[in-house]
């Protein structure tokens, strides 16, 4: 195995799934990490340990199991706050994922603050989860959605943002810190700075950035931030909405029910303190605890090294993929300016055919529109293939990908 800034050999031992074979005898080469990452035994054990030893509901009972479960659940909140350098732990709201976090903001803050003829600005490289909730809100309120375009190098055209901001009608700017298709890392601090200069609120979709680079919310200075645990070694069904305390305090609850109330009377209810006002009902206790173990795992490696490893493997993959005849790669070609996500098309092979052929060689990639049809339209394609890397991927696996793609190319006589 080639050397890396992180000890991949040791890391891979924590992921038994990476040992499995597919199609009878092909070693699995898992390159679909932008969709979801694999989980280390430490995360799986944290979840089973909860169910085996202290399964209990939280925040409600005084018995020992409930106290242990509550402490473990709340400890993850502290870990999350530290991991993204959030100013206050009560600003961390556990939700099901990025999608739910964005919907929460649209349905509460959005309904309270966006009105007729207001503008919501998003970008052409957003995931559907950062477009559709705003379309629903805009339709309901008679507001408008505008898009910051993507240039041919895969970068956002920020002069368009300025034009929208100059109208004085923009209520919210929302964008992904890292594109799940192009891998482009947005110039987030600059975007936030321009919005703040006009007093405009900013939501940042961190679904692809938080797992792969150090994110510092206090530096970033946005108002809302969303991400998912399952893209960073954690379980599915858990995510985070972070928002500044004053905003959360002004927002109406998203769901009504247990735990989010202080007092309920026949016709009047008062709300619990933050963040519980936004965590109605029994939450996903086991998976929040598992998420805490995922954060511990990443902290132990160090996010700077996670990023360094990805730059290295992405640089290598860009170089090797570019050598394949008929290859078209989308997004920035400089590995230092992008995450470990590479979308491409090979000749006129349909991405689904390509993914199916290389799956026979054990290589798992994603094909399709990646929930980014607005971007597909901009790129003038119906779909792309996408390989995406994480801490356990090696350059040897990139070589397997390249060999498999060459086999597909020969099959299609390109
Ligand atoms: N935002 C971005 C930038 C994403 O990449 C995704 C998921 C989401 C939001 C939604 O996250 P969820 O956890 O709520 O589903 N992206 C992908 C993907 O690229 N392939 O599968 C899911």
CA 273 to ligand 1 center in whole angstroms: 30
The gap from C-alpha 189 to its chain's centroid, in whole angstroms, comes to 18
Helices and strands per DSSP (H, E), number in the chain: 15, 17
- Predicted confidence band of residue 10 (pLDDT cuts 50, 70, 90): very high
> Does an H or E element contain 316, and which?
helix 303-322
CA 98 to ligand 1 center in whole angstroms: 7
Q: Which of 106, 128, 133, 208 to mutate to test the pocket of ligand 1 (most atoms within 8 A of CB)?
A: 208
Minimal-distance CA residue to ligand 1 atom 20: 35
Minimal-distance CA residue to ligand 1 atom 16: 35
Residue 204 pLDDT > 60: yes
Cβ burial, residue 255 (10 Å; 0-12/13-18/19+)? exposed
Which atom of ligand 1 is least distant from the CA of 96?
A: 14
CA count, 13 A, side-chain hemisphere, 351: 20
pLDDT digit string, tens, across residues 42-59: 999 999 999 999 999 999
CA 43 to ligand 1 center in whole angstroms: 21
pLDDT at residue 60 in the model: 82
Token pair belonging to 346: 């090979």
Mean pLDDT, all residues of the chain? 97
| Segment 283-293 mean pLDDT | 98
Token pair belonging to 168: 């004085």
pLDDT at residue 368 in the model: 98
Which atom of ligand 1 is least distant from the CA of 230?
A: 13
CA 207 to ligand 1 center in whole angstroms: 6
- Three-state SS across 119-156? EEEEECCCCHHHCHHHHHHHHHHCCEEEEECECCCCCE
Task: Point out the residues that are catalytic.
Answer: 371
* Cα dihedral sign, 114-118-122-128: positive
- Predicted confidence band of residue 3 (pLDDT cuts 50, 70, 90): low
Q: What is the rounded CA–CA span in Å between residue 92 and residue 180?
A: 24
Of 304, 331, 86, the C-alpha closest to 213 is 304
CA 220 to ligand 1 center in whole angstroms: 21
- Predicted confidence band of residue 115 (pLDDT cuts 50, 70, 90): very high
Of 121, 244, 117, the C-alpha closest to 174 is 121
pLDDT digit string, tens, across residues 361-412: 999 999 999 999 999 999 999 999 999 999 999 999 999 999 999 999 999 9
Q: Which of 96, 99, 124, 180 to mutate to test the pocket of ligand 1 (most atoms within 8 A of CB)?
A: 180
Per-domain boundaries in the chain: 8-30+302-411, 45-299
Cβ burial, residue 253 (10 Å; 0-12/13-18/19+)? middle
Enumerate residues lining ligand 1, CB below 6 A: 34-35, 97-99, 127, 129-130, 176, 180, 205, 207-208, 228, 370-371
Q: What is the rounded CA–CA span in Å between residue 318 and residue 325?
A: 13
Q: Domain 8-30+302-411, what fold?
A: 3.90.1150
CA 372 to ligand 1 center in whole angstroms: 10
Residue 2 pLDDT > 60: no
Which atom of ligand 1 is least distant from the CA of 388?
A: 19
| Segment 92-118 mean pLDDT | 98
- Predicted confidence band of residue 306 (pLDDT cuts 50, 70, 90): very high
Q: What is the rounded CA–CA span in Å between residue 147 and residue 153?
A: 17
Which atom of ligand 1 is least distant from the CA of 180?
A: 5
| Segment 183-191 mean pLDDT | 98
Q: Which of 36, 98, 284, 365 to mutate to test the pocket of ligand 1 (most atoms within 8 A of CB)?
A: 98
pLDDT at residue 61 in the model: 87
pLDDT at residue 143 in the model: 98
Minimal-distance CA residue to ligand 1 atom 5: 180
Q: Domain 45-299, what fold?
A: 3.40.640
pLDDT at residue 4 in the model: 79
Q: What is the rounded CA–CA span in Å between residue 321 and residue 391?
A: 20
Which atom of ligand 1 is least distant from the CA of 101?
A: 14
Residue 277 pLDDT > 60: yes
CA 279 to ligand 1 center in whole angstroms: 22
Residue 116 pLDDT > 90: yes
Q: What is the rounded CA–CA span in Å between residue 97 and residue 20?
A: 28
pLDDT at residue 82 in the model: 98
Residue 1 pLDDT > 80: no
pLDDT digit string, tens, across residues 245-254: 999 999 999 9
Residue 102 pLDDT > 60: yes
224-228/239-243 β-pairing: antiparallel
Minimal-distance CA residue to ligand 1 atom 15: 99
pLDDT digit string, tens, across residues 254-273: 999 999 999 999 999 999 99
The SS3 assignment for 228 reads strand
């Amino acid at each position: 195995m080639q050397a890396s800034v992180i000890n991949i050999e040791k890391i891979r031992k924590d992921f038994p799934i990476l040992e499995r074979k597919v199609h009878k005898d092909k070693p699995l080469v898992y390159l679909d990490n932008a969709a979801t990452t694999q989980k280390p035994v430490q995360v799986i054990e944290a979840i089973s340990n909860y169910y085996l030893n202290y399964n209990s509901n939280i925040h409600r009972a005084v018995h020992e199991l409930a106290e242990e479960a509550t402490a473990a659940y709340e400890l993850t909140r502290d870990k999350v706050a530290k991991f993204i350098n959030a100013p206050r732990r009560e600003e961390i709201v556990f939700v099901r994922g990025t999608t739910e976090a964005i919907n929460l903001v649209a349905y509460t803050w959005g309904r309270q603050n966006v009105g007729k003829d207001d503008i919501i600005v998003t970008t052409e490289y957003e995931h559907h989860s950062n477009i559709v909730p705003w379309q629903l809100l805009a339709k309901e309120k008679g507001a408008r959605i505008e898009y910051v375009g993507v240039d041919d190098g895969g970068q956002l055209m920020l002069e368009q943002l300025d034009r929208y901001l100059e109208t004085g009608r923009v209520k919210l700017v929302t964008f992904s810190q890292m594109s799940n298709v192009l891998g482009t890392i947005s110039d987030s601090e600059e975007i936030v700075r321009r919005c703040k200069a006009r007093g405009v609120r900013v939501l940042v979709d961190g679904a692809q950035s938080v797992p792969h680079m150090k994110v510092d919310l206090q530096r970033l200075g946005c108002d809302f931030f969303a991400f998912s645990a399952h893209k960073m070694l954690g379980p599915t069904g858990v995510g985070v909405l972070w928002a500044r305390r004053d905003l959360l305090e002004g927002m109406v609850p998203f769901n009504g029910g247990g735990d989010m109330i202080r007092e309920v009377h026949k016709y009047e209810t008062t709300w619990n303190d933050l963040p519980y006002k936004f965590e109605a009902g029994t939450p996903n206790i086991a998976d929040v605890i598992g998420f805490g173990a995922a954060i511990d795992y990443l902290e132990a490696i160090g996010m700077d090294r996670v990023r360094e490893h990805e730059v290295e493997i992405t640089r290598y993959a860009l170089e090797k993929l570019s050598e394949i005849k008929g290859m078209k790669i989308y997004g920035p070609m400089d590995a230092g300016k992008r995450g470990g996500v590479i979308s491409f098309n090979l000749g006129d092979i349909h991405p689904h055919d390509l993914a199916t052929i290389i799956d026979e060689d054990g290589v798992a990639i994603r094909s399709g529109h990646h929930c980014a049809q607005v971007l597909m339209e901009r790129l003038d394609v119906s779909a792309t293939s996408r390989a995406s890397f994480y801490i356990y991927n090696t350059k040897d696996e990139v070589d397997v990908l390249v060999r498999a793609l060459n086999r597909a190319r020969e099959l299609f006589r390109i």
